[in-house]
Structure 1
Amino acid sequence: MLVVETVVRIRREHASGKAIKAIARDLRLSRKVVRKAIRAPEGAFDYRRTVQPLPRLGPFQERLDTLLMENEARHRRDRLRMTRIHDLLCREGFEGSYDAVRRYARRWTEARRKDAGDGAPAFIPLMFKPGEAYQFDWSHEDVEIAGKPMRVKVAQMRLCASRAVYVRAYPRETQEMVFDAHARGFAFFGGVPLRGIYDNMKTAVTTVFVGKERVFNRRFLVMADHYMVEPTACSPAAGWEKGQVEHQVQTIRGRFFQPRLRFASIEELNGWLEAECLRWAATHAHPEQKELTVAEALELERPALQPMLAPFDGFHETTHAVTGTCLISFDRNRYSVMAKAARRAVQVRAYADRIVVRLGDEVIAEHARHFGRDRTIYNPWHYLPVLAHKPGALRNGAPFQGWDLPPALTRLRRKLGGGDDADRRFVRVLASVMTDGLEAVEAAIREALDSGAVSDEVILNILARYRDPPSERPLDVVADLKLSHPPIADCARYDTVRGLHAAA
């Protein structure tokens, strides 16, 4: 194709009387091209092939059409890439390049759209009233936590009217993380909108029907009812229905997560992300109300938000069996529970940052949640009833290795020394925690050690005194006491006690 400068030069030289043959010789062009440039209106010169030769692809054109037709009928997630289609053709004897297949596929798609009358996709701009709606979505970002690369799941929320954003990172994309993100997001915004817009994520939607009809997860509906939110699910593969948060995902990735963030923990990362959300809102103008920042628009929207009375108790509950060693398996880790639950079924309530284990209505364990695998998390106090009957386990029992005891118990342990007898004495004092409480036991130990007595008996006696304190009512004592028979010193009376033959 000739450039405009060449076409203009051809037309100018021809107008000055120069022959077509001479122009073609000087510019090294064919006379046919020169004539076409001269005849083109207003210097427009465009060359398009009427027939596209396909020397290598020709014999496989019908097969490629079939592959493209089958690929278009598949679900979007199951469609083959052009590299895979090229590989399938090569296995059938095709010797052409990948670019030839790609170019043909592009022309085939354009022709299909032209025949169907489909042009470029068009959308309708949306407008939301203050407090009307928010949008929620997940993204996956790469960060570095404690020196190790990690892909975190980032919950993203956006108020549709003020455009305020909130992001928080989690190790998982589970339902309890969804609940925690909503509680923290609403607290960050200062209220709750009337409607929430989601995609068809499995933690919220159980069944997708034709159109907008959905069956939402029961626990998700309980959360929505708690906050008085009407959940709305988008159509499948229709990201434009929540375009604000879709755009936010790309913006936040470029503004917050690049270059790669490095933090000591996820908690530290989330503190930084929340501060960045505040800074972003204070420094960016509202896209429609240019005279306002996003932070100012959020302040204007807050009166229209519903008040957040209390955060939702966002847990995911499952039933687990307790082993004979007082452990449960949860999320590829093991956690200890109270000894009374051994070999029984318990309910585990998983939160975003902790787990709570219940036996009926009683809480029998609570641990910070760990997201690695193959770890065992002990609470030594859970094993205290067993230790009271088996004091020898204090030395080699796994729950008691590196036990961080309170200061008073640590002093007593050091004073008693080592050995089996010292272990038994120490366990006797530890066992009293079950009846008297840790605070009372520590006070008794301090009192005994301050008096110089390093003995379990003394400590237990002090605890008994705490349990049964002396009466504070004064005794009624008569001041004037007189003996009716004054005592007489007579040692001979002892002989009567010893018997008749005592004098002999």
Structure 2
Amino acid sequence: MKSVDTIARIRREFFVRGRSIKEIARELHVARNTVRKVLRSGETIFSYSRGNQPLPKLGPWKTELDGLLAANAAASARERLTLVRLFEELRGRGYEGGYDAVRRYARAWALETSAAKVDAYVPLSFAPGEAYQFDWSHEVVLMNGLPMTVKVAHVRLCHSRMMFVRAYPRESQEMVFDAHDRAFAFFRGTCTRGIYDNMKTAVETIFVGKERAYNRRFLQMAGHYLVEPVACTPASGWEKGQVENQVGLVRERFFTPRLRVRSFDELNTLLLDRCIAYAKAHRNPEFPDRTIWEAFEAERASLVPYRGPFDGFHAVTASVSKTCLVRFDNNKYSVSASAVGRPVEIRAYADRIVVRQDGRVVAEHPRSFGRGETIYDPWHYVPVLARKPGALRNGAPFKDWVLPGAMDRVRRKLAGSNDGDRQMVEILAAVLDDGLGAVEAACAEALGEGVHSADVVLNILARRRPAPIPVGILTPDALKLRFEPIADCARYDDLRRAG
């Protein structure tokens, strides 16, 4: 059809200058029927679209091409083929047509498919303190110069849009507990509902509708903070759209360019500072007259008060080896020598490992997330040294053992004696009864007098111990006299006369 300027000129020549259709057609080199169509329709633009596109060669191959396009769209982004590759695949099956027909058909197929997938949503609004949303994301940082994928926990208050972000090495359940506790401590409270996806650390079984079988420990945490957990429909991320959007925002603003940090503590401090800075600098989308931070400060009064930390651990049972070691998460941790021979309970927290036996703590270590590492506490092996003092010299737990200053000087001085190891073991064993501070002070006093033997140090400790309180003799109530006896010598005289 003719262009817009030609149509405009036809209309001006006829309606303004009063020229005939024949004259206009001759001057503009268009057909008279075209001039009549322009004048009679009153339109200023004409577009042409073919009602039915003939595909003489592609027609028999539409089914094949539909299958290839559908399979290609369902594949992951890295595995999708270009349209040229699909054309070559179709040619290999016997198609004799050209690429343009395939390209036009693929474009129409994509438009039709995308139109069929478009969904409509209802905007959501939440009251203050009503709900929060939780999710995980994976981000890449440079930690100590090496690239590392960290798992980032996202918590978002639905009313004020205040966010909390913290990074962890894993997505395990104890990390979920720690993220909730730190978020609620930062918010100084929590909401009445928590919205989650169906993560395995929270949901064990998905039933019809919204019914879920939640993990027992997860329900304990929710009960502690007075939160009602709500799980989304599977593959329905829009039900927690705020935290889904937060994941993209945090990735773009907090982790780009790639962060360079030395530890998780440094990374999490940086993330918390950026959360606060973002909240103070950006407006709340629902209340444009207030920043996110101002809306958050107003929402705090409606939050459920923070009830203190939840004892969020993941417990497993383990056996103790004869070398006083327990295995957990591909690493080994030392325990007290008294725990050998009986099973123990390992409580794994986000940052530490606590080993308990019969209700008492037999070991506590910072948690290691490496593989094949052995973490020793030399004090766990001191009772064993009493029977094997020679192990002090070459024992693995005692390599690079840093003792307090005075004790370390005594150890170096005793190293030259024949029975130096035995004497040092006696001094170390005294720590279990008198405490590290008292033994350190005794060693310092002995060194001040110019001596360093174990007998002198133990003698100083004995002199410094408080004198024991004498235990008096207690008479049971049943043996106490109720009436004081009265002396009567006449009875003695009577006995003599009877004799």
TM-score when normalising by structure 1: 0.81
State the partner residue of 1:401: 399
Cα shift at 1:161: 1.1
CA separation of 1:339 and 1:58: change in aligned 2, threshold 3 A = farther
Secondary structure class of the residue paired with 2:81 = helix
1:484-495 equivalence runs, <5 A: none
Cα shift at 1:232: 0.6
1:298-309 equivalence runs, <5 A: 298-309=296-307
1:210-229 equivalence runs, <5 A: 210-229=208-227
Hey, what's the Cα distance between the residues in 2 that align with 1:397 and 1:446? 26
1:63-142 equivalence runs, <5 A: 63-66=64-67, 82-83=80-81, 93-94=92-93, 104=105, 107-108=108-109, 110-111=111-112, 120-142=118-140
1:37-436 equivalence runs, <5 A: 42-52=43-53, 60-66=61-67, 82-83=80-81, 93-94=92-93, 104=105, 107-108=108-109, 110-111=111-112, 120-418=118-416, 421-436=419-434
AA matched with 1:134: Y
Cα shift at 1:410: 0.8
CA separation of 1:156 and 1:44: change in aligned 2, threshold 3 A = same
Residues 26-70 of structure 1, C-alpha deviations (whole Å, 9 max, x = no match) = xxxx99999998998633333334444668865543233345667
Hey, what's the Cα distance between the residues in 2 that align with 1:417 and 1:97? 90
State the partner residue of 1:498: none
Residues 71-124 of structure 1, C-alpha deviations (whole Å, 9 max, x = no match) = 89xxx899996429987886672589999878645633654687xxx5731111
| 1:20 and 1:35 in contact (8 A); partners too | no
Hey, what's the Cα distance between the residues in 1 that align with 2:368 and 2:103? 47
Hey, what's the Cα distance between the residues in 2 that align with 1:281 and 1:267? 21
Cα shift at 1:420: 5.2
Residues 422-481 of structure 1, C-alpha deviations (whole Å, 9 max, x = no match) = 222212211222233222221221221111112111112222333464999xxxxxxxxx
State the partner residue of 1:458: 456
Secondary structure class of the residue paired with 1:83 = coil
AA matched with 2:408: T
AA matched with 2:108: R
Secondary structure class of the residue paired with 2:43 = helix
Residues 182-232 of structure 1, C-alpha deviations (whole Å, 9 max, x = no match) = 111111111111111111111111111221111111111110000000001
CA separation of 1:31 and 1:431: change in aligned 2, threshold 3 A = farther
| 1:10 and 1:23 in contact (8 A); partners too | no
State the partner residue of 1:489: none
Hey, what's the Cα distance between the residues in 2 that align with 1:82 and 1:249? 26
CA separation of 1:419 and 1:448: change in aligned 2, threshold 3 A = closer
CA separation of 1:33 and 1:202: change in aligned 2, threshold 3 A = farther
CA separation of 1:77 and 1:9: change in aligned 2, threshold 3 A = same
Q: Give the RMSD, CA atoms, in angstroms.
A: 3.6
Secondary structure class of the residue paired with 1:428 = helix
Comparing 384-393 with 81-90, greater Cα deviation is found at 81-90
| 1:326 and 1:336 in contact (8 A); partners too | yes
Hey, what's the Cα distance between the residues in 1 that align with 2:132 and 2:52? 53
Equivalenced residue count is: 461
AA matched with 1:276: R
Comparing 82-91 with 328-337, greater Cα deviation is found at 82-91
CA separation of 1:468 and 1:224: change in aligned 2, threshold 3 A = closer
Hey, what's the Cα distance between the residues in 1 that align with 2:447 and 2:388? 26
AA matched with 1:64: L
List runs of 5+ in structure 2 lacking aligned partners.
471-499
| 1:83 and 1:98 in contact (8 A); partners too | no
AA matched with 2:43: E
AA matched with 2:346: V
Residues 124-157 of structure 1, C-alpha deviations (whole Å, 9 max, x = no match) = 1111111111111111111111111111111111
List runs of 5+ in structure 1 lacking aligned partners.
25-29, 473-504
Hey, what's the Cα distance between the residues in 1 that align with 2:2 and 2:396? 83
Secondary structure class of the residue paired with 1:123 = coil
| 1:392 and 1:420 in contact (8 A); partners too | no
Hey, what's the Cα distance between the residues in 1 that align with 2:6 and 2:246? 47
State the partner residue of 1:476: none
AA matched with 1:238: S
| 2:168 and 2:175 in contact (8 A); partners too | yes
CA separation of 1:147 and 1:79: change in aligned 2, threshold 3 A = closer
Give aligned-pair identity as a percent.
57
